[in-house]
Structure 1
């Protein structure tokens, strides 16, 4: 298990963090990755037999999962096991002009588990689908157990409509929510280089206090401010195209009470 995980960010997010000691958990379903939360779902739905009746059950299963996704919100912030990775600088730190903040992984995990937030986020290591079929199959089994029997009750109607008589107990809804949460812990192997960890919250909208909203490239999206102790910050790396003098960043960290190492990225960068 890795000792450190790193959050890449723009200069404005970096300044916000050192001042407020907060990171934002933002909408995962409204991220730039249109397959976010869909890789595992597709693999499960592909297992249904192509016969007419099985396809009807498949449609019921898909509708059930979509209903749970609508009733809950997936919020998260991402980390990498790599603290100076070119693709991360390009994708998440304004083309290398931002920063990476490296945290003590165990310290963050302990802080999150002891957090008084209700509901409480979880720190999860992302699974890259084709590399761990044992875990993937376990998650697919959990989807069958949570949604399979109810999906069999779906009856297709004309014009793509249908009906499904359901009786959802709080226990069943919690079971379905846990299974649906797994959708956001798996990505395609194409993203494997990121070696991602995710601080994530998946819960009903109405159960998340202090949920806020912001304008984004996808319209309006929710976010949650989550306080993180700066004692678990191990070091900060200045991005490869960031022109700020090391002394300036040292002073900014010191003035905000953050004792952490500081270095300049060694990534070879071409615009």
Structure 2
């Protein structure tokens, strides 16, 4: 019996999704966006309530990428991928993919996102960031060790740098779409998809999943000063599908969906507490490399009382097991 007589099913699609994900991650064009220096610090701008919640709960808010403060960001990436589709449609090797590409563009134009992100900057003292994310300068920038922060969220969330240069954006979007399309064209001959139209419909949804992942990696070059790094997770992935979706009112007057991005250790700790399991073995488990968010420094915003805030922040951090955290004053000459 030929393989093509077997009908495609969701288990097979999930297996292929994992296979394709490994291929994409290994692409040289994408590997470059994941590399950071040991000298880097990831800064997360927030207010004092944010610091309190992050430390006490050992977690971040991961907001839906379609609801971020930069309202054009999600659509900027969609437009880029649509332009890439238009370009590939004219290539001889993809002439038979017009139906597939049409379905992909239709799904992209729904402007929905299944990606949830937590954002950081390599610059911990930037006026635009103080204004946008740290209560107009009345907040702080929390510095984290990038390697240990990445280890804290291993498998659960993917870390990547935002790409601002037009030429690099085009290279990445072309590589992602080209690899995805070639991958499923090869798989088409292995199973019975129920006809070409059904193949186009099913595969469009699979490819859109990956496009959605990289849509949020692109921003307009005007934002390049941010030097943004973000952790990205999907609500419908195997790791995160059972996570509870929350909502908050954003500054842009929208009800913003978000997930709680917790360290692997914190997730396991809470699960054991719910099931009334002991925590002694958890403390010894070497699988959990990072048991506490790796805060290395704090920069106090330019519109804050520095001395009193430094004193209270130091005491607060010590209470929660943090020592040797440097606390500095913003050098930005901004007061409100």
Say yes or no: TM over 0.5.
yes
1:136 aligned partner:
170
1:251 aligned partner:
315
1:220 aligned partner:
255
- Report if the CA contact (8 A) 1:240-1:267 is conserved: yes
Q: Secondary structure at the match of 1:187?
A: coil
1:125 aligned partner:
161
- Report if the CA contact (8 A) 1:103-1:234 is conserved: yes
TM-score by length of 1: 0.78
User: Relative to structure 2, which stretch is displaced further, 98-107 or 40-49?
Assistant: 40-49
| CA distance in 1: counterparts of 2:174 and 2:297, whole angstroms | 38
1:156 aligned partner:
none
2:247 pairs with 1:210: no
- Report if the CA contact (8 A) 1:86-1:267 is conserved: yes
1:158 aligned partner:
none
Once the two structures are superposed, residues 79-119 of structure 1 have per-residue CA deviations (whole angstroms, 9 ceiling, x without a partner) of 00011111111110000111111000111122222x5xxxx
Name which one, 1 or 2, has greater alpha-carbon Rg. 2
User: Relative to structure 2, which stretch is displaced further, 16-25 or 229-238?
Assistant: 229-238
Q: Secondary structure at the match of 2:114?
A: strand
Change in 2 beyond 3 A, CA 1:202/1:227: closer
1:235 aligned partner:
297
2:122 aligned partner:
81
- Report if the CA contact (8 A) 2:243-2:259 is conserved: yes
- Report if the CA contact (8 A) 1:27-1:76 is conserved: yes
* Segments of 4+ moved more than 6 angstroms: 54-58, 147-150, 168-172
TM-score by length of 2: 0.64
1:155 aligned partner:
none
2:128 pairs with 1:64: no
- CA-CA distance at 1:46 after TM superposition: 3.3
Over aligned residue pairs, what C-alpha RMSD do you find? 3.4
2:208 pairs with 1:199: no
| CA distance in 1: counterparts of 2:215 and 2:228, whole angstroms | 15
User: Relative to structure 2, which stretch is displaced further, 12-21 or 185-194?
Assistant: 12-21
| CA distance in 2: counterparts of 1:78 and 1:198, whole angstroms | 4
Q: Which runs of 5+ in 1 are unaligned?
A: 151-163
User: Relative to structure 2, which stretch is displaced further, 215-224 or 176-185?
Assistant: 215-224
Bigger strand share: 1
- CA-CA distance at 1:230 after TM superposition: 3.5
- CA-CA distance at 1:138 after TM superposition: 3.0
Aligned residues: 248
| CA distance in 2: counterparts of 1:112 and 1:196, whole angstroms | 18
- Report if the CA contact (8 A) 1:143-1:180 is conserved: no
- CA-CA distance at 1:187 after TM superposition: 0.6
User: Relative to structure 2, which stretch is displaced further, 245-254 or 168-177?
Assistant: 168-177
Change in 2 beyond 3 A, CA 1:145/1:63: farther
| CA distance in 2: counterparts of 1:105 and 1:232, whole angstroms | 8
Once the two structures are superposed, residues 23-71 of structure 1 have per-residue CA deviations (whole angstroms, 9 ceiling, x without a partner) of 11111111222222222331343353799xx99987544213346x64x
| CA distance in 2: counterparts of 1:86 and 1:185, whole angstroms | 23
| CA distance in 2: counterparts of 1:249 and 1:180, whole angstroms | 38
- Of structures 1 and 2, the one scoring higher in RCO (CA 8 A, sep 6+) is 1
